[in-house]
């Protein structure tokens, strides 16, 4: 097997094992800090999500307090899950992946601990600011200036750390996941600061704000969440199965075509708006060109798992990650199609778009982050997950929950969109069409909430060391008396 | 004030666009796009080689062998 190794043959497996354990351990404090705050904000964001969803069914629910009205709870939900949960979960994963892929222990953890503090203070101030009525009516950038400045500091520190880690990496090949991570770490602080400057600190005028808003909003997904999610999938799927990526050539092509096309996509949110036609058209073309990175990634992930789909039965990491990878394909294909003006006419301003957002940020990104956490945390803290049963409950609750949410919002959104386009149907009647679907959406929200509570319990028990001591860094719970038998081909 | 902000933003645009192009050039120059077969195996090593699964439910044995290349669990 030494022929497959990127290392000189003088390094023995024992040394490699010890080195890897050392690298994993060096990431412990920052990774656990980011993961723990992510899980905390996931629960907070879920509460806001439930409140906002219930208000769709019962508009007067809890409306006697200004800070719990829909106009504040809904952005509080978006920002708590996007900046509180998804981004720190991605950062924790990125830190560990960077250390492993650079094959060097994590350096300068003070930078990261500082970033984690800035981050949590920023999110706390932001959420409180939104609830207090300080929020801005700019989707994805509702945080007031004092909060977004904190987040920028955190992003900046992490970017600097990423460059330092890359600088001190072991010589050799730069794996595709590293490209994705570096791209996300470097591009995002720039994206975030530019959008904040142009919209909040030194606002540009009029309609151009809409263009900046969606340039940012779409790129937050495309140049931050997507690269980190794909970096995790490109590492975890081959690593769990012990099988290299099906076509490495396609994975590289996928990365560079994503870098080329994704940043143009945002303007497809403005179809039909008061913007120059070329601006929107260029974006629609780029959105359709996204088929190239998406299809290359889909082929790769599918073909790497093909023949081993039964592995989803025993690997929690793989189950969550493959679910996420499949939903990446779905969400991206759907996104490209939604950018086509004839379809956009129906889906724009309906719950269909909300379903699409959850397919992307939850079914794709969040599920991959769960998978990554299941793989990374035991290796980082040296303790196993306490219960496989909790993991199963977690998976089925959130998988059924998000599946149901996307389906009902999609169907309800199409009906809503067709009703909105029909001149014989009043606006109020078009809202009536959505009622049963919004009720079902709340039911799916309850399932997701239950799943998140199960996960938070599992996570807390792991940190309290309720699981088994991890005696070897490669297998999931070998010391429970049921060590899997060696397999033969 | 406005002018300074716009100059900064334009400089950012040039810098980040430039680093992306430079990264692409660097990757091509240093052979990152060559020997892709080996590149895909760079995440494996002698201790966790190709053919070794590294994750499983604690209470559920993998009941069927992995196909194509996968030989045994890491024990």
What residue segments make up the domains of chain A, in order of their start?
14-463
Task: Give the residue-averaged pLDDT of A101-106.
Answer: 94
- Chain segment A113-137, per-residue pLDDT in tens: 999 999 999 999 999 999 999 999 9
Task: Give the residue-averaged pLDDT of A292-301.
Answer: 96
Closest CA to A257 of B27, B24, B42, B13: B24
In this predicted structure, what is the pLDDT of residue A465?
Answer: 81
Residue A469 pLDDT class (50, 70, 90 cuts): low
Chain B contacts of A484, Cβ < 8 Å? 56, 61-62, 73
Tokens describing residue A362: 């939850």
Task: Give the residue-averaged pLDDT of A461-487.
Answer: 52
Handedness of CA A51, A56, A62, A64 (dihedral sign): positive
Query: Quick check: A474 pLDDT over 90?
Result: no
Task: Find the residue in A nearest to B12 (Cα).
Answer: A190
Partner B contacted by A316 (CB < 8 A): yes
Task: Name the percent of chain A lying above pLDDT 90.
Answer: 80
In this predicted structure, what is the pLDDT of residue A480?
Answer: 41
Which residues 4-43 of chain B have a CB within 8 Å of chain A? 5, 8-9, 12, 16, 19-20, 23-24, 27, 32-33, 35-43
Residue A4 DSSP one-character state: G
In this predicted structure, what is the pLDDT of residue A472?
Answer: 37
- CA-CA distance, A391 to A451, in Å (whole number)? 9
How far B33 CA lies from chain A's nearest CA (Å)?
8
- Mean pLDDT of the residues in chain A: 90
Residue A9 pLDDT class (50, 70, 90 cuts): low
Tokens describing residue A217: 């909003």
Higher pLDDT, A487 or A370: A370
Closest CA to A334 of A431, A234, A409: A409
Query: Quick check: A243 pLDDT over 70?
Result: yes
Q: In 3-state terms, what secondary structure has residue B38?
A: helix
Task: Find the residue in B nearest to A245 (Cα).
Answer: B40
**Whether the predicted interface score ipTM is above 0.85:** no
Question: In this structure, what are the phi and psi dihedrals at residue B53, rounded to the nearest 5 degrees?
Answer: -75, 145
Adjacent-strand bridge partners of B52: B72
Chain B contacts of A7, Cβ < 8 Å? 45-46
In this predicted structure, what is the pLDDT of residue A308?
Answer: 83
Task: Find the residue in B nearest to A198 (Cα).
Answer: B5
Domain residue ranges in chain B: 1-34, 35-75
Radius of gyration of chain B (CA): 23
- Chain segment A302-346, per-residue pLDDT in tens: 999 988 887 787 788 999 999 999 999 999 999 999 999 999 999
Residue A487 pLDDT class (50, 70, 90 cuts): very low
Interface test with B, best of A17, A212, A241, A486 (most B CBs within 10 A): A241
Measured at the CA of A92, the angle between CA A88 and CA A93, to 5 degrees, comes to 115
The pTM for the full model equals: 0.91
A461 neighbors A391 (Cβ within 8 angstroms): no
- Chain segment A196-218, per-residue pLDDT in tens: 999 988 888 888 999 999 999 99
Task: Find the residue in A nearest to B52 (Cα).
Answer: A242
Task: Give the residue-averaged pLDDT of A155-176.
Answer: 93
A448 neighbors A454 (Cβ within 8 angstroms): no
For residue A454, count other CB atoms closer than 10 A to its CB.
21
- Find the helix or strand (DSSP H, E) in which A214 lies: helix A208-220
Class of domain A14-463: mainly alpha
Radius of gyration of chain A (CA): 22
Residue B56 pLDDT class (50, 70, 90 cuts): low
């Amino acid at each position: 097997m030494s022929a497959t190794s990127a290392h000189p043959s003088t390094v023995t497996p024992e040394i490699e094992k010890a080195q890897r354990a050392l690298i994993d351990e060096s990431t412990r404090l920052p990774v656990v800090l980011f993961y723990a705050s992510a899980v905390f904000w996931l629960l907070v964001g879920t509460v806001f999500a439930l409140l906002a969803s219930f208000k769709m069914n019962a508009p007067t629910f809890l409306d006697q307090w200004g800070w719990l009205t829909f106009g504040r709870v809904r952005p509080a939900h978006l920002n708590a899950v996007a900046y509180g949960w998804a981004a720190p979960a991605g950062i924790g994963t990125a830190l560990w992946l960077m250390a492993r892929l650079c094959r060097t222990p994590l350096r300068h953890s003070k930078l990261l601990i500082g970033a984690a503090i800035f981050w949590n203070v920023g999110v706390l101030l932001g959420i409180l600011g939104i609830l207090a009525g300080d929020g801005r009516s700019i989707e994805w950038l509702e945080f007031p200036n004092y909060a977004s400045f904190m987040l920028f500091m955190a992003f900046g520190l992490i970017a600097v750390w990423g460059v330092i880690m890359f600088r001190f990496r072991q010589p050799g090949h730069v794996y595709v996941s590293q490209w994705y991570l570096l791209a996300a770490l470097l591009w995002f602080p720039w994206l975030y600061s530019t959008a904040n400057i142009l919209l909040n600190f030194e606002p540009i005028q009029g309609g151009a704000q809409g263009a900046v808003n969606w340039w940012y909003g779409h790129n937050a997904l495309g140049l931050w969440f997507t690269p980190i999610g794909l970096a995790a999938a490109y590492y975890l799927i081959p690593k769990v199965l012990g099988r290299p990526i099906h076509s490495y050539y396609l994975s590289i092509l996928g990365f560079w075509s994503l870098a080329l096309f994704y940043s143009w996509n945002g303007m497809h949110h403005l179809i039909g708006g008061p913007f120059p036609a070329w601006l929107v058209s260029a974006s629609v073309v780029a959105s359709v060109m996204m088929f190239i990175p998406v299809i290359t990634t889909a082929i790769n992930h599918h073909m790497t798992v093909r023949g081993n789909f039964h592995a989803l039965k025993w690997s929690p990491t793989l189950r969550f990650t493959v679910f996420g990878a499949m939903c990446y394909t779905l969400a991206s294909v759907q996104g490209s199609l939604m950018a086509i003006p004839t379809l956009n006419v129906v889906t724009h301003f309906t719950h269909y778009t909300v379903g699409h957002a959850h397919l992307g940020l939850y079914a794709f990104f969040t599920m991959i982050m769960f998978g990554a956490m299941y793989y990374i945390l035991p290796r980082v803290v040296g303790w196993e997950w306490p219960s496989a049963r909790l993991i199963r409950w977690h998976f089925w609750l959130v998988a059924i929950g998000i599946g149901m949410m996307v389906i009902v919002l999609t169907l309800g959104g199409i009906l809503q969109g067709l009703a909105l386009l029909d001149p014989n149907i009043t606006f109020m009647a078009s809202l009536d069409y959505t009622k049963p679907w919004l009720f079902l959406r709340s039911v799916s929200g309850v399932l997701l909430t239950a799943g998140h509570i199960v996960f938070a319990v599992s996570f807390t028990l792991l940190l309290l060391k309720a699981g088994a001591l991890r005696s070897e860094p490669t297998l999931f719970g070998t010391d429970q008396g049921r060590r899997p038998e060696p397999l033969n081909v | 004030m406005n002018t300074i902000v716009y100059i900064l933003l334009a400089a950012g645009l040039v810098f980040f666009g430039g680093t992306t192009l430079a990264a692409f050039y660097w990757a091509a120059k240093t052979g990152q796009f060559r020997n892709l077969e080996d590149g895909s195996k760079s995440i494996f090593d002698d201790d966790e080689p190709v053919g070794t699964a590294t994750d499983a439910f604690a209470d559920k044995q993998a009941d069927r062998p992995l196909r194509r290349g996968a030989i045994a669990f890491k024990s």
